[in-house]
Structure 1
Amino acid sequence: MPALTYRHVRDTAGEVRILGLVEVRGPHGRAVLTGTRQRSIVAVLALRAGTPVSVDRLVDVLWGENPPRTAVRSLHSHVARVRQALANCGLPGALRTEPGGYRLDAAVDAQTFDRTRDLGLWRGEPLTGTELFGWGLAEVDRLREQHVAALEAFWGERLDRPDAVEELERLVAAHPARERLVGLLMKALHLGGRHAEALAVFRRLRSRLADELGTDPGPDLVALHTAILRRDPSLYSARPAQLPARAGHFTGRAAEFAALADLPPIVVVSGIAGVGKTTFAVELARRVADRFPDGQVFLDLQRLTPEQALTEVLHSLGVPADRVPADAAALYRTLLHGKRMLILLDDVRRARDVLPLVPGDQGNLLLVTSRDTLSALGTRHAVHTVGLGLLSESESRDLLAGILGEDRVRAEPGAAAELVVRCGRLPLALRIAAARLTVRPGRRIADLVRELTRNDPLDVLSVDGDDRTIRTVFASAHRTLSPQAARLFRVLGEHPGASFPADFADALGPGLDELVASHLVEEVGGGRYGLHDLIRLFARQSGDIGDGVRRLLDRYLTVAHAAGQVLNPRHDLVTRQGSDDLPFGADRAEVLTYLDTERDNFLRVILLAARAGQHRETWQLAYLLTGYFEARGNWAARVEQCELAVQAARALGDRRAEAEMLRGQGIALQMTSRIPEAMVVQRQALALVRAAGDPRGEARLHNNIGNAHSELREFHLALESYRAATDVHTAAGDEVGAALARRNLGYTYVRMGRPELATEPLSAALATFRARRNQRLEAATLMTLGNASRRLGDLGPALRDFGDALRISREIADHRFEADALTGLGLTQLALGDPAAARDGLTAALEVCEALGDVHRQAVILLHLAEAALTLGDLTGTRARLEAALAARTQAPDEFELAGVHRTLADLEGRCGRWTAAARHLAQAITLFLSCRRS
């Protein structure tokens, strides 16, 4: 192997070189120095460059103790020639005459070496080509010592280099008694596996010292010799300082840092891609680095196998790459034993990649970042996991302000807040967005928000020249997924809801646990899961979806059909095969509880189906939810569902489905007090079923139209519709349908003030529902019977019927009927002269209706609560309830009910002595009552 050469390239206007052959290089080339004397003058002036050197000292160093009589004159002559040579090479004025001497103003390689210890400056023996005496010779020795010391420092950090032994042998040959060099050669031989040769080097030095000086090697070299004899692992020692630089403008995470105050020995930082795991870990490591004086190691495990990682860390600890033993993990633990080192493993994929790098004792810190939770690591070691979530809104804003400047963010507070939303409070997205604004200081934050709104955010959130974009970060996490998990991830990306239950994902195939462990899917609580908005967008772009949307819709159809079979089997227009993996059983309350959690998702899924052109799935999903809305209300959402379903049925040309969904839309419109609109769509549906020859559908629509007439207080038209429904149902042999028409007939008799006529049809309907074990319609009929009895003054039977209706409603978890039963009980107790009990029952009914979002019923109950408060003499409570009822009637108009509010307000104002206000409210009440009668 050739001798080591130290290469050094300099680009300077002029330099004097004395670390080798003395020479001067200027802008015009090399100065022509003639003879030893001229080079010597340049050398000694360069040794004191920038400082005047007296003529006497120059004579001493150039001629020694016995200078000739002409020495001074000769010096002046040589100086003049040197000055001309310097001027010729482009350095005029470099050599100056000073009082009593001369000064050289120039860059000197020896002075540069003093500052940098750059071995590349050395070209050979210092001051070659000169003849010096006295202090000049001492300077030569000083430079030689500096050179050797620098070589020792250089090779002390590079003992693992392949040429280390050869170069150190050459240096030891030149300096055989220099113990530091000998020790380095011994270490290099030992690390290279040449233990016997290392010991032989020691023996040669010991013999030389004994023979020449009568001494022994120093204690440090003796200790090294002993360590080599024992093959001591401590010989592999280094103090790495490999931590990356801190991220700029670090923000937040105070709680996470506080939880790590005691620094457990193993910390795993996990979270979704782009949440700032590495940034947090580096910040933590920098904050505590002084607690680990033996060094800090940083390894990127995304690009390394566990074996390669072990080799890298051992190499950083001083072990040559070609000397890593078979049991590298054992050597690793040995080297860290008794030490205080920080090992940061970034972007770990699997727990098994970490296991070989766990230190053997508690004095070290193993800090790991991973998209996976690495739960398997906790089965073997005590692990403290830091789950990084999204930044808060204020932390996100602070991060933007830190990068962009507080003034810029304060100037556009609304746009800054919207940018936080568009970036999903994801630190990487916020940093990229801020970087894009930073490179264009004149660009407004609102401009970037518009760009994110109009274009693909995954494309917008990137910066030229930086390959770490949101898309690439997500892609790196996606690449590690199994094929099953990747397919599930793609399908879940199509889910339109904010979250979904575990059973939904499990029904689509395996992989949910893997997605959660990779933080591509997050558990949001209550057994539900979701995707970050940007991850959802990435999922939709991550491959060909194939039948993914159809599979998603099919799962919701399966659940909706099974739920409908429990809630109301009469809705049988859609048939499907059963399923064994349902999230509920046959218990009605269990089904309703499940659908309550998925209600918003069903609407979004119906919207998804409509937008995807899946018309059959659109109307079928809406149809199968009929029983749920009958039990729970939330009719405003039902209106939107049915509108989409009607459009889908029309697109398919399915008249029967169109009629059924028009009927459902009419019911929903009626329940939201949009009675005229309800009447229009119900008549459209009636025309369709008549044209299709569907008597059962016609009967149902007569029932619904009758209900609309009844709500409009068009009682004679309502009675005609119910009689028509009864006749058609009876002719078709539909006993339940006929009984329902009779129940509605009785209900209308009660509303029109003829409760005595209601008892017969209601009793007949009740008998049918009980025989058919239809609890829902049984409860509805009992409530109407209770109202009839209350109107007739039979308050005992009324309490019994309302009590039975309440019990059944709660058994079947029908909250709408529960509210109606509680209202009936409250009114009966008010009639019995117990307004306090009435108030309690009505308050409970109001709470149920508020949960249902049924504004019409809320307004009715508020009026009754006002009546109870007025009876109790609570005038303030009465006014508050009546004002709330008035406000509710703006959302659910009903002139008859509004008239009752004004009538009670008139009573209240009269009791307060405000006769003018009382007269005004009474006049409004009369006007509204008359309007209802005219209509």
Structure 2
Amino acid sequence: MCGPHGRAVLTGARQRSIVAVLALHAGTPVAVDRLVDVLWGDDPPRTAVRSLHSHVARVRQALADCGMPGALMTKPGGYQLDAAVDAAAFERTRDLSLWRGEPLEGTELFGWGRAEIDRLREQRIAALEAYWGDRLDRPNAIEELERLVVGHPTRERLVGLLMRALHRDGRHSDALEVFRRLRDRLADELGVDPGPDLLALHTAILRRDPVLHSAKPAQLPARAGHFTGRAAEFAALAGLPPIVVVSGVAGVGKTTFAVEWARRVADRFPDGQVFLDLQRLTPAQALTEMLHSLGVPADRVPADPAALYRTLLHGKRVLILLDDVRRARDVLPLVPGDQGNLLLITSRDTLSALGTRHAVHTVSLDLLSEPEACDLLADILGEPRVRAESDATAELVVHCGRLPLALRIAAARLAIRPGRRIADLVRELTRNDPLDVLTVDGDDRTVRTVFASAHRTLSPQAARLFRVLGEHPGANFPADLADAMGPGLDELVASHLVSETGNGRYALHDLIRLFARQSGDIGDGVERLLDRYLTIAHAAGEVLNPRHDLVTRPHCDDLPFAADRVEVLAYLDAERDNVLHVIRLAARSGLHRETWQLAYLLTSYFEARGNWAARVEQCEHAVKAARALGDQRAEAEMLRGQGIALQMTSRIAEAMVVQRQALVLVREAGDLRGEARLHNNIGNAHSELREFGLALESYRAAMEVHGAAGDEVGVALARRNLGYTYVRMGKPDLAASPLFAALETFRAKENPRLEAATLMSLGNAFHQLADLEPALRFFGDALRISREVTDHRFEADALTGLGVTQLALGDPAVARECLTGALVVCRALGDGHREASTLRELAEADLALGDLAAARDHLVAAVAARTQAPDEFELAQVHRTFAGLEGRCGRWTEAARHWAQAVTLFTSCRRS
């Protein structure tokens, strides 16, 4: 026994025996009577206990002398040794290097002590059997096993190992002779035959069974140099499902993830780990390679290799990693029959067909999160370098699309040039084709090549659809659009070239989209994309407002919505961000007719939903397209739409210019209906500029021309606008007659949207007349109808009207609730003008409730919103309310300043 100062000097067999038995129970007290039994046997002397104490004292001193004082402790009724013991370590690890000589050599033990020696010997020989069972192909295996069999001639597992080793070495007769000697010895000495396992082995050797050649492979590739993230995916595999499919887009790190996990769990598969790249193998070749990996020689592969494969794996624990599987049928023959094995598969395809036959756990790898992507770059390049250029690092992550392969290649390019700035690589990616930039000299695994390998496996139909979808300019697209372009969407999704984003929508990764655009001629793909959008927009317009009839298209049965306003608006809401991109694509492609028609057909949607800033740009493209075609009627219509959008974004002066340009064109064309609409729009612009006299003239002109054109709804709309302007002028008594007349027409013509608009104007008129109960009723009806037709702009106006009226009725709590709802809708619309007005009204409700802090927050926000949607009159109202707030707070100087600003702005409005 060794301590810090060397070996303990123990005198005599008794002292060594005491240390031995206490060491076998290290950390646990051993009773005195048990020690007497093991040291003296069944007939101990009367002085045994006293002699034991004396020996223990000498052992304690010997341990103290070698640097282990206190190791041997007296416990109630016995003794305890605290020390690190090789035998205990061996039981945990089966490390044969811990053995030196015979167990407990130099001791004299009786009873249970001898049983302990036998137990240790059995553990050692079992460990030797396990050791050589994994190393039968070593050059010295036969020699060592022969030596062990000499020492243990009737130990059947040792004999079996020797027989296997001899057979593998081609010494079949020697193997059979070893069996014969054992059989004879057992018969002579014990009168028994060898056990069934050894008999089966003997029969297999006689038949030269290939199963005897099974080996313990260790083929897993090395881990990736840097690995980041995927904690949730690893956690989902904690239960070790027997079949795991790791799928994901090309370059997402499927193989890297699979190898990392396989390395982490490899110790749970002591019979080996096999790795096969199935991209270069047929199923038959893969099965043959698998048998070779398991030790079957080429000349012993049978006609039915699948049966032998399952036999070799039966009762084993082998991890099998099949990389880059293309189809489910390629892997079916390689599924083990025994669930103790693990089949780990990587594939760009989801291999859903595999799940119809077996229980499969699928891990779908997504792109790295932004923090994970930055961590990966920091791991490769070093934290200081990444931290020093944190903004450039974030841009690099965006350019690489959070795709692990792209990030690793970018990092490799930076790593080989330590002096290069990250920002320089970002500029290179910005100015050049990223697929050309994301390469490393000497490495043929680039982003382009991995995408190309996925593309090559597609059917012709899916490949064609892939190229067309690559031209789609939006962030995502609906399934019906892809289906209208041709078959293949499911195949693209299964191959992870297209990903499902939820709610029936799909997307291409930015780098994949770029690859798709470069992967071949798409023919009329852009025209087909635009034609589908025109079909959808026309069908939607027929539901939302059939008055927009300048463009006609054939009827289409293949629509993603019913003829229902709510369904139509919900569909277009999902497509709202795409519309501008699609119109840009049409303009960029020189498809002028498609450009203006698509913008025109979407008019009704924007009337209902807003988003006027995007509408301005759409109409700009449409006007240029109509001019390029020389189509004055289309140009006038799109100038009109542009004017409305400019007005709704508080660019009133610009709106007036384009509306007058349109008016000239429609008069030249003799388009009475178009002329009347423009009079209406010009009147709206005058009204917003508070040029009420000019506004009234425009509305009267609109009524006259609409009447001449026989357009009753147009006449009613001009009447509604006339009444609306009287309300803004503070002349509600003049507003009632035209408003009621307009309401009657809209109801008769079943136009609920304009009915709601008229009801709101009536509500405002009666509010000004201080007749609040009818006002409340009008606003309530307007809100109900607006929600029925899902017109969010009118919904916001109705909620605001209700809130203002409830405040006037003395219920500021209900008022604030209504106004808060209106604010949510305004912000969703992106309507800065309505948002600023609603914020001011909210501040009035806050003041009525005594919530001065909330009032201040809302007024500050209202001032900020007015910078984006300027209106001097409305801003004056904000400063007037601000003055009241500061007065309530006793801040008289600030109150005076706001009041002065309000007066200045009111005066400016009157002068203009």
Normalising by the smaller structure, the TM-score range is 0.7 to 0.9
Partner of 1:788: 765
User: Which one of the candidate residues 287, 304, 315 is aligned to 2:281?
Assistant: 304
Partner of 1:439: 416
Query: Superposed, which structure 2 residues align to 1:753-832 within 5 Å?
Result: 753-832=730-809
Partner of 2:372: 395
Task: Call closer, same or farther: CA 1:540–1:786 in 2, change over 3 Å.
Answer: same
- Cα deviations across residues 56-85 of structure 1 (Å, max 9, x unaligned)? xxxxxxxxxxxxxxxxxxxxxxxxxxxxxx
User: Residue 337 of structure 1 contacts residue 360 of structure 1 at CA under 8 Å; is this kept in 2?
Assistant: yes
Task: Call closer, same or farther: CA 1:700–1:848 in 2, change over 3 Å.
Answer: same
Scaled by the length of structure 1, what TM-score is found? Answer: 0.77
CA distance in 1, matches of 2:229, 2:855: 50
Task: Call closer, same or farther: CA 1:535–1:825 in 2, change over 3 Å.
Answer: same
Task: Call closer, same or farther: CA 1:223–1:187 in 2, change over 3 Å.
Answer: farther
Query: Superposed, which structure 2 residues align to 1:355-754 within 5 Å?
Result: 355-754=332-731
CA distance in 2, matches of 1:154, 1:221: 23
CA distance in 2, matches of 1:816, 1:204: 95
CA distance in 1, matches of 2:626, 2:588: 14
Partner of 2:234: 257
User: Residue 164 of structure 2 contacts residue 212 of structure 2 at CA under 8 Å; is this kept in 1?
Assistant: no
Scaled by the length of structure 2, what TM-score is found? Answer: 0.79
Partner of 2:898: 921
CA distance in 1, matches of 2:543, 2:242: 55
Partner of 2:68: none
SS in 2 for 1:677: helix
What is the deviation of 1:916? 3.2
User: Residue 783 of structure 1 contacts residue 821 of structure 1 at CA under 8 Å; is this kept in 2?
Assistant: yes
SS in 2 for 1:344: strand
Residue-pair matches, total = 754
Structure (1 or 2) with the larger CA radius of gyration: 1
Structure 2 residues not aligned, in runs of 5+: 1-134, 143-159, 185-193
1:596 alignment partner AA: D
Query: Superposed, which structure 2 residues align to 1:187-336 within 5 Å?
Result: 225-229=202-206, 232=209, 234-336=211-313
CA distance in 2, matches of 1:930, 1:488: 63
What is the deviation of 1:452? 1.0
What is the deviation of 1:263? 1.3
Task: Call closer, same or farther: CA 1:325–1:915 in 2, change over 3 Å.
Answer: same
User: Residue 274 of structure 1 contacts residue 426 of structure 1 at CA under 8 Å; is this kept in 2?
Assistant: yes
SS in 1 for 2:324: strand
What is the deviation of 1:225? 4.2
CA distance in 1, matches of 2:588, 2:576: 19
CA distance in 2, matches of 1:520, 1:383: 22
What is the deviation of 1:882? 2.0
What is the deviation of 1:629? 0.9
Partner of 1:23: none
Identity %: 82
- Cα deviations across residues 709-731 of structure 1 (Å, max 9, x unaligned)? 11111111111111111111101
User: Residue 759 of structure 2 contacts residue 779 of structure 2 at CA under 8 Å; is this kept in 1?
Assistant: yes
SS in 2 for 1:529: strand
What is the deviation of 1:243? 1.4
CA distance in 2, matches of 1:744, 1:432: 62
CA distance in 2, matches of 1:439, 1:827: 67
What is the deviation of 1:556? 1.0
Task: Call closer, same or farther: CA 1:580–1:738 in 2, change over 3 Å.
Answer: same
Query: Superposed, which structure 2 residues align to 1:53-202 within 5 Å?
Result: none
CA distance in 1, matches of 2:857, 2:161: 95
SS in 2 for 1:498: coil
2:636 alignment partner AA: A
1:296 alignment partner AA: Q
CA distance in 1, matches of 2:175, 2:717: 109
CA distance in 2, matches of 1:762, 1:266: 72
CA distance in 2, matches of 1:416, 1:896: 47
1:684 alignment partner AA: Q
Which is further off, 873-882 or 790-799? 873-882
Task: Call closer, same or farther: CA 1:696–1:591 in 2, change over 3 Å.
Answer: same
What is the deviation of 1:182? 10
CA distance in 2, matches of 1:203, 1:285: 42
User: Residue 211 of structure 2 contacts residue 296 of structure 2 at CA under 8 Å; is this kept in 1?
Assistant: no
Structure 1 residues not aligned, in runs of 5+: 1-149, 158-178, 191-197, 211-217
Computed over aligned residues only, the root mean square deviation of the Cα atoms, in angstroms, reads 2.9
User: Residue 211 of structure 2 contacts residue 308 of structure 2 at CA under 8 Å; is this kept in 1?
Assistant: no
User: Residue 155 of structure 1 contacts residue 184 of structure 1 at CA under 8 Å; is this kept in 2?
Assistant: no
Task: Call closer, same or farther: CA 1:240–1:722 in 2, change over 3 Å.
Answer: same
CA distance in 2, matches of 1:905, 1:729: 44
Task: Call closer, same or farther: CA 1:359–1:753 in 2, change over 3 Å.
Answer: same
SS in 1 for 2:550: coil
Partner of 1:25: none
Partner of 1:905: 882
- Cα deviations across residues 323-352 of structure 1 (Å, max 9, x unaligned)? 322321111101100111111100001111
User: Residue 766 of structure 1 contacts residue 778 of structure 1 at CA under 8 Å; is this kept in 2?
Assistant: yes
User: Residue 199 of structure 1 contacts residue 225 of structure 1 at CA under 8 Å; is this kept in 2?
Assistant: no
What is the deviation of 1:187? 5.3
CA distance in 1, matches of 2:682, 2:617: 20
User: Residue 233 of structure 1 contacts residue 334 of structure 1 at CA under 8 Å; is this kept in 2?
Assistant: no
1:333 alignment partner AA: R
- Cα deviations across residues 361-398 of structure 1 (Å, max 9, x unaligned)? 12111111101111111121111111111122222222
- Cα deviations across residues 271-307 of structure 1 (Å, max 9, x unaligned)? 1101111111111122222222211111111111111
User: Residue 210 of structure 2 contacts residue 300 of structure 2 at CA under 8 Å; is this kept in 1?
Assistant: no
Partner of 2:8: none
User: Residue 500 of structure 1 contacts residue 529 of structure 1 at CA under 8 Å; is this kept in 2?
Assistant: yes
1:256 alignment partner AA: E
Partner of 2:88: none
Partner of 2:830: 853
Kindly report structure 1 stretches of 4+ aligned residues shifted beyond 4 Å: 150-157, 179-190, 198-207, 218-225, 230-233
User: Residue 168 of structure 2 contacts residue 213 of structure 2 at CA under 8 Å; is this kept in 1?
Assistant: no
CA distance in 2, matches of 1:604, 1:329: 54
Task: Call closer, same or farther: CA 1:838–1:514 in 2, change over 3 Å.
Answer: same
User: Residue 297 of structure 1 contacts residue 344 of structure 1 at CA under 8 Å; is this kept in 2?
Assistant: yes
What is the deviation of 1:487? 0.9
CA distance in 1, matches of 2:766, 2:452: 69
SS in 1 for 2:500: strand
SS in 1 for 2:386: helix
Partner of 1:66: none
